[in-house]
Each structure stands twice: as C-alpha cells, then as structure tokens.
A and B are shown apart, each in its own frame.
Chain A
C-alpha cells in the first residue's frame, strides 16, 4: 500500500503547499476570500462571543466596580492583606465576567502571578462542607494530598487546613484567593462552618486570604449567622446596571460587529455597515426596545442575537430585520399556548368546561365529575351527538391533561380519593385559553362559541 501511494503523494502535497502559499500572499494583500469562508469565520467569531462567554477587553459600564475589586485583590496578592468581599447582582449582569476580567488583569503583574494561589468553589458542586474541604485541600496541593486523592476524615481535613493557614503569616506565605460561586448556597451548610473559618482566617493574623463570594441574592447578608456576619467585612460590590436603551442598542451593534483583525477587510467592512443599517431600522429598534423593557439581562440578549445569527448563510450573508423579528417571535412565544394548540378537541372542550367552572365558582377546585357535568350541559344544549364520548375516554383525556400539567391536583388530596373525585385546579390563565381557541386549527364553531361565551 505504501509503495502504491508513495509516488502519488508528492504531487498532491506540492499542490497543497502551492495553494497555501498563494493563500498567504492573498492574506497579506487582504484580498477577498470566498463568501463561504467568510461566513464560516463570522459564525465562528460571533458564536464564540455569544455562547462561550468570551471575555471582553474592558467590562463595559462596570469600570468603578472593576477598579474596586482589582485594587482589593491586588492588595491581597502584593501586600498580603486579608480581605473579604461579596459581588451581588441579578442573573446575567456579568458577575463572573467581572471577576474573570479582574483576575486576568491582576495576573499580568508578575508579583501577583508568582504568588497568588487560587481556589474556586461552586455552591452547586460543593454541596456540603465535607466536599468543599476536600476540594480546597486538593486545589491547594496540601501535603495530605497524594495524586488526586485527599486522605483523612472530614474532621482531620478541617484541622489540617486550619493548621496550615494558621502557620502562615502576612509577609512570608503565599496569599490564597477563595472564590465562592453561588455564595448563598454555602450559607445553607450546617453551622456555616466553612464560611466561619474562612472569614475568621481573613480577620486574624494568619496566612493572607481573600474571600470573594458571588451571588444574585440581595438579602445574602441576612442568611449569615451573627458571628459569621461579624467576621465578614461588609464590602459588597453591586452590579446593578443603569443601562439606557440607547446604550443597549449600541451594545447590540458592538456585539454583532466584526473585529479589525478579520481576514477579509472588505467583507468585514460590508458586514459592519449592514449591522449599522440594521440597528438603525425602525422595526428592529422597536423589537430591541421591547426586549430591553422586558429585562436588562445580557444572556437573554445573547440568546436573541444567536437566533438571528443562525439564520445567516452563504445564500443570505447579512442579518435582515425580518430575522430579528423572527428570532424575537421565538423568544417571546408563550409555551403553554403552543401546548394548547396540540390538544385534541375533547381535551379542549374539557378545558373550556373547567374555565366555566372557574368563572362560576371563582377559582374553587373541581373534579372530573363536575367537569363532565359541565360538558354534558353543553352537549344537551347543542343536541349534537358528535362529541358524545364514553366516560372512560373522557377520563383518559382528563388524565392526559394532568400529565401535561395543565391541571394539577390540590395538595394533599391525591392518594386517598378515587380518581374521578380528586380535586383539581386549572393551571391556565383565561387569556391563554381565549388565544388558544382563536389559533386552534379548524376549531368547530360551536366549541369556539361555547368557549368565548361568558356563561357556560
């Protein structure tokens, strides 16, 4: 085989290298690449930015917080001062991004880079102190760690760690940075032992440590025990964005724009221009305003932009206003209304009956018997035998609704009662039912009328 391929290989490799040399020459001249390649590059760059949470050069709108945190951590790393701080902000406000940016900037300094030890913990992974302690010991490479295993019992591990920290002092031992993600979950551990000990070390003359907690709860300090709270330094960095809608629009534009180092200069220019015109478009502005009104969370914005971006292809190499509209429609779609559209007519009728029961009895729970009676009233009035189903069929439909969690048994009435008499509540808003009736494909007129009428 080798001999057979041998002579063939050299011309092939030659041609590849020649193509590469031509390509590199092209790159130097910054000439046009084929559109397909450009689109692949665009997708790659923007997807990295939107989905992989790529760090920005500078955290926008968070300069003061960035400076505060950087100064604080620098003092721990360089001067050996112990500190504790909490970063508080709603979900998607950029708490982790801020911390990562600060760490990146901090580690540029050699003095910090050589000395700082880091321990990262997450409240969702380290669900109790035992696991958290093992993780700390492992990440610090203390001497009771062999390979990846931590030896000793929980009590021994704690004693060992505290002894190690106690032996250190401000000027000679390496500072340790503890990052506690989902800080509020650590406050639910038994006795808050870990938090007490970390804060206690940060407030006594032992190894210098910085404790950084990240949480989205504004009332996090109320979760701490008195003695733990007293040892915490009460520094809080709040990330509450004072973003205005114009800044929001700018942010969309910068998020979608291509960087200067894009291989094909002309394409990048065109793309950026098209993004600019897109952002100036009136309908797009309205949609973005609506998103901005709904939340200032950047993650939901990134979600929207991802949906727009996924509609870009070789055949359609720009984002058009229609794409944004389409993406926004997907984002704002009501999940339950979609589910209602997939029900059978019988199930829809049962839901209408429940709606009428709710109207008449002001939200009191109902059971299958009552729903069936209500349904029978409808059938009698219409003298229409088309929907005259047997009871087991109705029962089946009722159970299907329960499985979809459109109805829900009242708490505590489940096990003992028979199925027909189990009390239920409807988990739908009336507006959803009305909307579903209007959008239901080929809904029979009498059902629709019955549903829309105020009286059952």
Chain B
C-alpha cells in the first residue's frame, strides 16, 4: 500500500503555448479561472467581511458568519481575497498571525468527512471521522498557550446537513468556546437556509451575522469584463454591453458572462479578419448558449416522428387532456398517415418512433413494458411543436 504517496498530475514534456495574438490574450484573461488581484464591484462586501474577521483576530475571540447568494456572484472569490489581504497584513505584523483553512461540502463524500479534513489541514494528522471529531473537540475546548486564531471557511454548507445535524452543530458551537479562537465563515446559495433546514439550537449558534450577495447588475458585469481585459482591445463597447445586459436580465451570473465573451472571441477568430469582436459575434454566441434545441430538433426530425407529434397534439385536443395512451395516439397517427398519403405503419414501428421521441425527451413516456397502454405526454409546449412544424 502506498502510504506516503504525493498526489500529482504528470508534467508536460513541452511547455504550453503562450497566447499569440490579441484574441488569444483576451481569451486567456476572460477564462473564469484567472481570478483578478482585486474584485471589482464587491468592495462593500469585501470591507464587511474584512472588518469582521480582522476584529475577531485582533480580539482573539471567535464568531460565525453566514454568506448567501446565487451561484456566480463572487462569494468564494471575495472571501479568498479577504484572506489574501489579511495574510499579507499578518506577514507585515499589523495583526496577529492566524491559520486559514477551507473545506467544501461538495468536495467530500459524506458530511462527517468534514472532521477529517479540518483535522488534516490543521495538524496534518490522518484519522477516522469519529476520532477526528474527538481530537478537534479537545483542541478547541482546552486552553493552550500562544494559540493562533483559526479562520475556517465552509463552502456549500447545505451539503453538511445530517439528520441529527451534529456536524453543523459542532461547527457553530466550537467558536463559542472560550479557548477556541475560531472564526467560521459559511457560504451557501439560499438566504433562508438557517431557518429552513437547521434546528433551533444550531440556528441560534450560527447567529445573526448574515450577508447576502446580490446578483450582478449589467453595469457591474460590464465593469468586470473591462477590468479583466485590462486594456487589451478585443471587444467593441456595444458588444460588451449587450452581453452584460442579457446575462444580467437572466441570472446575473458572472461565470456565464465570461463564458459567452470567450465563445464570442472564438467565433470572431473564425469569421472575420478585423480582430475586434463585434455585435454579430456576440449575438451568435448568445444564441448558441441560451437558445434551446427543441425547436430545431422537431424541425429536423423524420417525417413519421413529426407526424407522431402532430397526432399527439390532435389527441390532446380531442380529449381536452394533456395525457393520452399510445394506443389513442396511434389511431390518430394512422389517420394522419392516410391524410398525408403515406403508407400506414405497423404498431412496432409506431412504438419505435414513440420511443425515439421519448429518448431525446421531446415526449415523456411511461416505461415501455406497458406496451400500447403506456401514457404519453409532451415535454415541450404545444405551441412550440406547432411553430416548429409550421415554420417550413
């Protein structure tokens, strides 16, 4: 058994190519992974978290904070930036030194693994979940000389939920101990998570220090892209505005915005020679990423498949319901075949057509063991189907 294996991915024989032109440079800067030194548009949140943690470190006390917001609003990035700045402050002796560790609920297989990971990051020891819990309990409740403050970041908090909620309870109970010197920052998506899933004694220990990250507005998104590009001239102003307005209207997710811009640079690279990403490229990228493929799928479906969809709608109209059995639809299908002047198809073939439409989820089907009695429903709106079939 390899006991002390060091995890690593083999390194490449040739170094990666550097970006060669403006568009490639822009693409590298726009990648979600290249987080900038300072985050634009999150100054207020940065300040709040910074002062909260700083005061706790200086006082040598503990505390909890709950941070919420929809995905892609810069929660984790802001906290990381705060920690970087505090680390820097500690290095120049402005504040006492501290530990920073982070765990992520999605990166563990079981809520109790949180103990194992915290212990390992604090001391480097490996232990089972139960043993780690005991060791951590001892560490946080007993006084020790020259104890440094520990800042613990818990990302994706909702995944740490267990039936007894003992993991959450411990996480929020440790900071209240006198000798713990522990600051816990928790991140999750929903604002009302403490009220919704936590029992009273857990929610009360989490306290009322809450902060919520609002989705970015279009101006903020625009500012984010501009600051990322940092004077690399690759985009037209209008194009940037269009992307940020579209994304802000839908979700306000910065990741989406960056991905669309990156795709637009690719489209630009293939189409034109001007080297500036314009409106048309951005439009194309937006269409690619936001449009659903249902209508195209119906439009390009085989003749019998289209006929089957029409039969489904005809049967729904006849019944006045949104559900019919295959047998009922099939009768309509045969009639439609005759109207269209096609050879009527056998039940097996009709079933195959139905299953194919079910496999790509244009239809919702019961399991096929019900045979001709299986119930059929549409997964798209009737209007979409009619539009797609009428368009040509």
Q: A407 CA to B386 CA in the complex, in Å?
A: 36
Chain A interface residue count: which class?
Answer: 35 or more
A28 to chain B, nearest CB (A): 44
With A164-B8, A227-B156, A240-B296 as known contacts, state yes or no: A219 contacts B361, CB within 8 Å. yes
From A67, A227, A235, name the one whose CB has the most chain B CB atoms within 10 angstroms. Answer: A227
Q: From residue A199, how far is it (CB to closest CB) to chain B in Å?
A: 10
Q: Per a CB cutoff under 8 Å, which of B16, B255, B305, B327 touches A295?
A: B305
B interface residues, how many (CB within 8 angstroms): 80
Q: Does A408 touch B at the CB level, under 8 Å?
A: yes
Task: Check if A205 sits within 8 Å of B304, measured CB to CB.
Answer: no
Let me know if B15 and A233 touch, CB within 8 A: no
Of the stretches B170-178, B226-234, B316-324, B344-352, the one at the interface is B344-352
At the interface, yes or no: A88 with Cβ under 8 Å from chain B? yes
On whether the beta carbons of A158 and B13 are closer than 8 Å, the reply is: no
Bound Cα distance from A81 to B106, whole angstroms: 24
Contact A336 B348 (CB under 8 A): yes
Whether A197 contacts B10 by the Cβ 8 Å rule is no
On chain B, the residues within 8 Å of A196 by CB distance are 106-107
Complex CA–CA separation, A146 to B370 (angstroms)? 48
State whether the Cβ of A162 lies closer than 8 Å to any Cβ in chain B: yes
Nearest CB of chain B from residue A208's CB, rounded to whole Å? 8
Residues of A with C-beta under 8 A to B349: 294, 332, 334
- Contacting B at CB under 8 A, from A263-300, are 290, 292-297
Q: How far is the CA of A80 from the CA of B10 in the complex (A)?
A: 14
Q: Are A161 and B11 closer than 8 Å at their CB atoms?
A: no
Cβ of B92 under 8 Å from chain A = no
A62 interface residue (CB < 8 Å to B)? no
A81 B27 Cβ-Cβ under 8 A = yes
Chain B residues with Cβ below 8 Å from A130 are: 109
Q: Is A197 in contact with B304, judged by CB distance below 8 angstroms?
A: no
Task: Assess whether B7 is in contact with A167, with CB atoms less than 8 Å apart.
Answer: yes
Q: Complex formed: what's the CA distance from A158 to B28 in Å?
A: 29
Complex interface residues of chain A between 324 and 364 (CB less than 8 A to chain B)? 332-337
- Find chain A residues with CB under 8 A from B343 CB: 290
- Bound: A162/B8 CA distance, A: 9
Q: A97 contacts the other chain (Cβ, under 8 Å)?
A: no
Contact A427 B348, beta carbon cutoff 8 Å: no
Tell whether, in the assembled complex, residue B106 and residue A236 are in contact, meaning their CB atoms are under 8 Å apart.
no
Cβ of B315 to closest chain A Cβ, rounded Å: 14
User: A138 to nearest B CB, angstroms?
Assistant: 14
Contact with B along A101-113 (1 / 0, CB 8 A): 0000000000100
Residue of chain B at shortest CB distance from A209: B9
Residues from chain A with a CB closer than 8 A to the CB of B301 are: 296
Residue picked from A79, A130, A158, A218, most chain B C-beta under 10 Å: A218
Which residues of the other chain, B, contact A170 by a CB distance below 8 angstroms? 16, 33
Residues in B whose Cβ lies below 8 Å from that of A218 = 292-294, 297, 360-362
In the complex the two chains form, what is the Cα distance from A71 to B24 in whole Å?
13
Whether A427 contacts B35 by the Cβ 8 Å rule is no
Scan B203-215; emit 1 where CB is below 8 A from any A CB, else 0: 0000000000000
B334 at the interface (CB under 8 A from A): yes
Instruction: Please name all residues of chain B whose beta carbon is closer than 8 Å to the beta carbon of A241 when the two chains form the complex.
Output: 300
Is the Cβ of A164 less than 8 Å from the Cβ of B346? no
Residues in B whose Cβ lies below 8 Å from that of A226: 70-71, 189
Q: How far is the CB of B115 from chain A (nearest CB, A)?
A: 11
Q: What's the minimum C-beta distance from A84 to chain B, rounded to whole angstroms?
A: 9
Chain A positions within 8 Å of B16 at CB level: 78-80, 170-172, 208
Question: Would you call B361 and A158 a contact (CB within 8 A)?
Answer: no
In whole Å, how far is B45's beta carbon from the nearest beta carbon of chain A?
18
Q: A158-B109, A168-B8, A425-B373 are in contact. Are A294 and B304 (CB under 8 A)?
A: yes
Interface string of A203-223 (1 = CB under 8 A from B): 111111000000011110000
Known: A218-B297, A240-B296. A151 touches B1 (CB 8 A): yes
- B32 CB to closest chain A CB (Å) equals 4
Which residues of A (218-255) have their CB < 8 Å from a CB of B?
A: 218-219, 226-227, 229-231, 233-236, 238, 240-242
Interface residue ranges, B against A (CB under 8 Å): 1-2, 5-17, 19, 24, 27-28, 31-35, 70-72, 106-110, 113, 116-117, 156, 159, 189, 253, 255-256, 259, 263, 266, 270, 288-289, 292-294, 296-297, 300-305, 327, 330, 334, 342-343, 345-349, 352-353, 356, 359-362, 370-373, 379
Q: What are 20 inter-chain pairs, A to B, with CB distance below 8 A?
A: A79-B16, A79-B17, A114-B12, A130-B109, A151-B2, A158-B108, A160-B7, A165-B9, A171-B16, A174-B9, A203-B32, A203-B33, A203-B255, A208-B16, A233-B259, A235-B288, A294-B353, A295-B356, A297-B356, A333-B346
Instruction: Beyond A172-B15, A292-B303, A294-B303, list 9 extra A-B contacts (CB 8 Å).
Output: A80-B16, A159-B108, A171-B15, A226-B70, A234-B259, A293-B342, A295-B352, A296-B301, A427-B371
